[in-house]
Amino acid sequence: MSGLTPDTFLAVFLIFCRVGGCLLVVPGFSSARVPPQIRLFIALAVSFAVAPLLLETFQKGLSGLSPAMTLWWIVSESITGLLIGLMGRIFFMALQTLGTAIAMGIGFGSIPGTQIDDGESVPAIASLIMMVATALVFMADLHWELFRGLIASYSRLPPGEAFGAQLALVQITDQISAAFLLALRISSPFIVYSVIVNLAVGLTNKLTPTIPVYFLATPFVLLGGMLTFYLLFKEFMLLFLAEFVSWLSHG
């Protein structure tokens, strides 16, 4: 594909379909706080930047394509990008779910937080966790690793070959299992704390029914939860970030 031919413009547009589909749902770039125009400009900039590296992969496939096949390539590339972005999004969905469970377990479930990554309202603790996780992705330059993975995806998923339905379902299922096991592992200290504290409060309330133990113990439950959160938050985020980096590097 030499010079500026119609096939060159079509190839760049197909690259944009995969890159744009990924950035549409991938964590960080897909945030409702990022204006759609900014996301569009980022997708265009990335597409133009990686096009010289990928045009060679389109050289044979685009010659003599019918309109129907051209439409199929556009749809398949868009779906492939969406699925790649969804794989990373699953990590943050699992983290948000267990972050909400942590907030409820340590007594902060009723305190509303600021919406960070989407339009769904979450407790303040979960909002803090999501904000830190999203900031770490950019502070650790993992967005560049994401772009490297998009380029590498063309060797595993050549242009025009979309995910098979069975392969896509298997990949998504495995990713959901791995992400929720990770989220459960890093949130397990808070779950254990919640079980022990609520069992102790319930037992004390049974032994002294005339005293409103639940209301008296609430400040101490909150204090213990905040201390646990303070002591474990660094390891919490580092473990999550390590697993997310592993997926970006090998996923």
- The model's pLDDT over 138-187, given as tens digits with 9 standing for 90+, comes to 888 888 888 888 888 888 878 867 666 777 788 888 888 988 998 888 88
pTM recorded for the entire structure: 0.81
pLDDT tops 70 at residue 92: yes
Residue 2 has pLDDT above 70, yes or no: no
Phi, psi dihedrals of residue 123, rounded to the nearest 5°: -60, 165
- pLDDT of 123 above 60: yes
- Which of these, 244, 227, 77, lies nearest to 162 by C-alpha position? 77
The predicted model gives 184-194 an average pLDDT of 88
The predicted-structure confidence for 27-58, as pLDDT tens digits, reads as follows 888 877 788 888 889 999 999 998 888 888 87
Residue 142 lies in a domain: yes
Asked whether the predicted pLDDT for residue 16 surpasses 90, the reply is: yes
Q: What residues are paired with 214 via a beta bridge?
A: none
Question: Per the structure, how many domains does the chain have?
Answer: 1
Nearest 5°: the CA angle 123, 231, 96 is 30
Tell whether 1 is covered by a domain: no
Establish if 120 belongs to a structural domain: yes
Alpha carbons 37 and 54: distance in angstroms, whole number: 25
**94 in a domain, yes or no?**
yes
Instruction: Supply the range of the domain harboring residue 89.
Output: 6-250
In a domain, 235, yes or no: yes
